[in-house]
Amino acid sequence: MQRLSVSIGIIFVVGSLIAFMSWGIFKFQGDRPALPGKSTQIQQPLPVTEAQMTKKTTSELCSVLVAFQADGQTHYSETLPLITVSKDAVSGAVLGTHVDEPLAAQLVEKIPDFGNAGTPTPASVDPGKKGASQRIRRGQATTRLDRQEMKKQLVSALFGLKQNGNITLPLVLKPDEGEVGFDATREKLGFTVLLASFATLHIDHISDEGRNTNLRIAAENIDGVILQPGEEFSYNKVVKERSRKNGFQMAGVISNGKVIPGLGGGICQVSTTLYRIALQSNLKILERYNHSIYDGIQYADRGLDAAVVWGAKDFRFKNTLDTPILLTTSAGPGRVFAAIYAHRKPYDKVELVTRNERKLPLEVKTILNRKLKAGENRIVQSGVVGYTIESYRIVTNNGISREERLSRDTYQAFPKIVETSN
């Protein structure tokens, strides 16, 4: 009996000890800081400030008068609740604008058709008789409203409004060639692969009507020309003589370090744009000249321009690919765009690089002119900085790259001439 009492006492003591140790372990673990990435603590929300508790917003549905114009005349207008403006109820500050884009899209769709909305005449294929190249000739396109672009412009303008207001937008037109237009004919003939495209902009001559006319004529004469494998292209032959009979007008041309008026001025921008895509398409260049000076041809990279002069300087290249190619060119105010399409792409990649550029310093010459007043100076010639530069083409095919030097060009320097009385 005594042994039983002792055993029960021992069991009680051991059990109490175990319970105490377990409590200590749990308490110790609870007080330990959590290991990084193992925290199980619940993040308490940050206290809400009094300003946040009291802040309220109001929404205002705003009507907008939208007018679409062409040539300064309103073609269509309508007033609709197109935006909802959220404001702070206390300060009245605008917090945001919501645009009803579906309603804006419905508005644009309601605009009556505008432009020469007739039936486009189809493109045609000229077989190229009497030594001329085969070409695709564009038909007469009609113009339609570019409703997609107009929707974008309207939504963008609406986001800028903060209250009831008015918006005036231009009608945006796009050409419509129909199902038998230039692009459809191009694809039908197998010219589905774009080898290269390039655009140039002479921002100083966007409003030069004579120059823009010359760009358009040159681009139209080239557009659609097809070159078979082995066939050559001559810029002067295709663009023809720069004469009034052929529609060319007076515009700036480079002569002896100066830009002077000349018939057909500006069309070197077309030849330069074409030179760029001929290089990018890995065609063989047969004849090409850089300009005498770089001033005046900011639309071109040094070493990658192509100057042309009727009867003296031509730009010629040869289709050395084993697939026919199609040239497409177009022009707008100060702009030229050109592209080359083919049946397939017979190379992997073409890179154009320029190296070893050196700037030729501007020389200043002073000439005594006793007819000037004492202390008077007069600039007779502003002068032109010159450059030398090399251009290269790197063609990669089947993982193998081949580099060729295209040219080493010199752009002449002309001195600054100052007359002085001293």
Higher pLDDT, 45 or 228: 228
pLDDT above 70 covers a percentage of the chain that reads 86
Least confident of 5-14, 96-105, 161-170: 5-14
Beta pairing, strands 124-126 & 135-137: antiparallel
Work out the average pLDDT over 33-44. Answer: 42
pLDDT at residue 21 in the model: 52
The letter for the amino acid at 331 is: A
pLDDT at residue 16 in the model: 53
Q: How far apart are the first and last CA of the chain?
A: 139
CA distance 365 to 274: 38
The letter for the amino acid at 226 is: I
Q: What is the CA radius of gyration of the chain?
A: 37
Residue 262: both structure tokens together: 């000349």
Q: Note the pLDDT tens digit of each residue in 280-307.
A: 999 999 999 999 998 878 899 999 999 9
pLDDT at residue 141 in the model: 79
Q: Note the pLDDT tens digit of each residue in 215-232.
A: 999 999 999 999 999 999
pLDDT at residue 41 in the model: 44
Q: Is residue 84 predicted with pLDDT exceeding 80?
A: yes
Burial of 361 from C-beta contacts in 10 A (0-12 / 13-18 / 19+): exposed
User: Please, what is the Cα angle at 39 between 36 and 44, to 5 degrees?
Assistant: 125
pLDDT at residue 10 in the model: 46
Q: Is residue 44 predicted with pLDDT exceeding 80?
A: no
Q: Is residue 33 predicted with pLDDT exceeding 60?
A: no
pLDDT at residue 368 in the model: 86
Say if residues 224 and 258 touch (Cβ distance below 8 Å).
no
Average per-residue pLDDT for the chain: 85
pLDDT at residue 367 in the model: 85
pLDDT at residue 238 in the model: 96
Q: Kindly report the backbone phi and psi dihedral angles of residue 373, in degrees, each rounded to the nearest multiple of 5, phi listed first.
A: -70, 160
Work out the average pLDDT over 156-175. Answer: 88
Closest CA to 173 of 118, 122, 114: 114
For the beta carbon of residue 77, count every other beta carbon within 10 angstroms: 15
CA distance 284 to 233: 10
pLDDT at residue 338 in the model: 97
Q: Note the pLDDT tens digit of each residue in 244-275.
A: 999 999 998 887 777 888 999 999 999 999 99
85, 189, 201 from 180: Cα distances, Å = 47, 12, 31
165, 203, 263, 313 from 290: Cα distances, Å = 54, 21, 20, 10
The letter for the amino acid at 340 is: I
Map tokens 């009492």 to a residue: 5
Bridge partners for 78 per DSSP: 66
pLDDT at residue 3 in the model: 43
Q: Note the pLDDT tens digit of each residue in 343-402.
A: 999 999 999 999 999 999 888 888 888 888 887 888 878 888 999 999 999 999 999 999
Q: Please, how many CA atoms are within 13 Å of residue 266, restricted to the half-sphere of its CB?
A: 32
pLDDT at residue 51 in the model: 45
Q: Which helix (H) or strand (E) holds 401?
A: strand 400-411
Instruction: Identify the three-state secondary structure at position 112.
Output: coil
